[in-house]
Amino acid sequence: MSDLNPTVAELVERSNRLGADPKNTNYAGGNTSAKGTETDPVTGEDVELVWVKGSGGDLGTLAPAGLAVLRLDRMRALVDVYPGIEREDEMVAAFDYCLHGKGGAAPSIDTAMHGLVDAKHVDHLHPDSGIAIATAADGEELTATIFGDQVVWVPWRRPGFQLGLDIAEIKEKNPQARGCVLGGHGITAWGDTSAEAEANSLWIIETAASYIEEHSKAEPFGPALEGYAPLPEAERRAKAAALAPTVRGIASADRPMVGHFTDTEEVLDFLAHAEHPRLGALGTSCPDHFLRTKVKPLVLDLPSDASVEDSIARLQELAVSYREDYQAYYDRNATPDSPAIRGKDPLIVLVPGVGMFSFGKDKQTARVAGEFYVNAINVMRGAEGLSSYAPIDEAEKFRIEYWALEEAKLQRMPKPKPLATRVALVTGAASGIGLATARKLAAEGAAVVIADLSLEKAQAAAAEIGSTDVAVGVQVDVSDAAAVQAAVDATVLAFGGVDLVVNNAGLSLSRSLLETTEKDWDLQHDVMAKGSFLVAQAAARAMIAQGMGGDIVYISSKNSIFAGPNNVAYGAAKADQAHQVRLLAAELGEHGIKVNGVNPDGVVQGSGIFASGWGANRAAVYGVEEQDLGKFYAQRTILKREVLPDNIANAVYVLCSAELSHTTGLHIPVDAGVAAAFLR
């Protein structure tokens, strides 16, 4: 950062340090600022500026481009035209007229706090320890007890221009103060230097945490509830996998969601104690928390050892109640100009003994929602340990959740990709057609599970596609029913469920009838015919439980139709797969599950099958060099084009896209035109 303004460099470095530690603030939560000078390119004179983290950014990964840059004189001049708290939202648009230069991030609602406070460096953070004090019933008294006159209590006020004025006044009237606790919300600290602001922030966070640790009651969440202790890990995760599709269906009644599962100690301990139903019903408090988690979670009110069947039945009952309660919450608080209701489904579902399911528009959003609820649990533990947890009231939560500014932010979000919210499981996906298909589905917005016989190769392929929020690798032998179920379980635990399955795993041995052994026959049928059946069966169970429809695509072959020499076992197995498409399309249609197939031919490039000896054998059969096999196949086609893995991937995508929403039982040839394999 040597070319940067030193003030900006210090601010970014401080922000990254603070944001890297979850005890300081949650993901994308809080904001930091610094005031300094730069040369105005118009006048050539120094101009005072304030750099502040822009709307939607994350402190841990903040870069200079993520800062909003404002003229300090113009920003502070807004005080003279401030129309009052009833119209304070108008001030956010006014910030645009204070910007310096071009580029940079959009100013956030907290910009006023940073610009109006008379300190060169300001940090506003959401630490669990600080919010615990902020949400305690006697938070004001605790603030005085814990910090003396070094930290000042600020009663709850919705973020905005007035809150900035309030904190500026507090700073002016309390020159000895290092910062303040914002009731129901978080903390703000300041300093004359970047190092001083950071030190003051950390001092408030650590002082609060130490006080909670030293003075908290032994059981903040009440006594242990009999029968609600965590299940052993293997049993816990098996039950979670069995419940996940139903839970995802509940969370996706209004719009499809991607899920995340968490069984951390914090979650399991919370659910194992007597006060969790009361505290869960109180909901979260910090605006960053409940905007991600909704005002409260859905909590299963059954003990840890409740059967999967009983748990599912009760969850479905509770889902109806949750939707009714949320509608009533909206109706109680909505005004004629409130945005329309955004959906009545829970974003957090808690299952005693098992853990937490969290949901969002993609995996990252779902994972972060879960992280925020863990933050909320930590906050409740701290507040209950010292006092009692008293979050901001329902009306204030509604004002935040259905804030016109929040609605505007949502409307600015980019249009989702075509396969957004869809979870895909692709077998044989570490190379060739499978890998190309996984890449294509991920590029179109799907979360992808790469399943392959080699765990190492599956994980490497997934890492190549993206982070674990986008793709994960799992090991599977598709001929083993238990291994297939384990792969489907891993899929639903990774992303909440499964919507799109590609049966691609395959192998081939090119041998004549007389040379084909029983072992050859069994191996190819076990992997392709039996394997496809097992994968489709396990995935269909999950899809039916979700109630969200789905797609199953078989990568069959030209050889499922065309009779060629020296591939009796392979061709018969592919014909089996091709008829499975028709059979399952007829059976699963009532559940909204489409089943289609793709018939490739001559896909040499990147193919594991061709590399494992099939290519050499095919080349020998046709009397060509192995390296020329792709060109040979191309020349025998109508279009004279070589078929590549990407061509197959594109066909899979089209079959699963909205454009073919009414198509099932279809086989698409992707062979550049082989007349003998035309479907009749």
Catalytic positions: 570
CA angle at 132 for the pair 131 and 134, rounded to the nearest 5°: 55
From first CA to last CA, the distance across the chain in angstroms is 66
Q: Which phi and psi angles does 187 have, rounded to 5°?
A: -130, 160
531/529 Cα distance (integer angstroms): 6
Length of the chain measured in residues: 680
Contact 120, 35 (CB under 8 A): yes
Query: What CA–CA distance (Å, rounded) separates 194 from 11?
Result: 7
In contact, 599 and 561? CB cutoff 8 Å: yes
φ, ψ of residue 505 to 5 degrees: the values are: -55, 135
Q: Where are the beta strands (DSSP E) in 179-286?
A: 179-182, 186-191, 258-262
Q: In sequence order, what DSSP letters do the residues of 3-25 get, joined into one string?
A: TS-HHHHHHHHHHHHHHHSTTT-
Summary count for the chain: helices (H), strands (E): 26, 18
CA 322, CA 5: separation in Å to the nearest integer? 51
Q: Do 127 and 212 contact (CB within 8 A), yes or no? A: no
Residue 412 CB partners (closer than 8 Å, separation 6+): none
| Both tokens assigned to 26 | 């949650």
Strand, helix or coil at 412?
Answer: coil
- DSSP-derived secondary structure for 353-390: TTEEEEEESSHHHHHHHHHHHHHHHHHHHHHHHHS-B-
DSSP characters over 439-491: HHHHHTT-EEEEEES-HHHHHHHHHHH--TTTEEEEE--TT-HHHHHHHHHHH
Contact in structure between 236 and 355 (CB atoms under 8 Å): yes
Query: Given the structure tokens 């600290």, which residue do they identify?
Result: 189
The rounded distance, in Å, linking the Cα atoms of 454 and 193 is: 54
Whole-angstrom distance, CA of residue 376 vs CA of residue 221 = 13
**How many angstroms separate the CA atoms of 414 and 642, rounded?**
36
State whether residue 152 is helix, strand or coil: strand
d(CA 106, CA 423): 32
Give the Cα separation of 606 and 600 in Å (integer): 14
The token pair at 281 is: 């019903």
What are the structure tokens assigned to 55, written together?
A: 């709307």
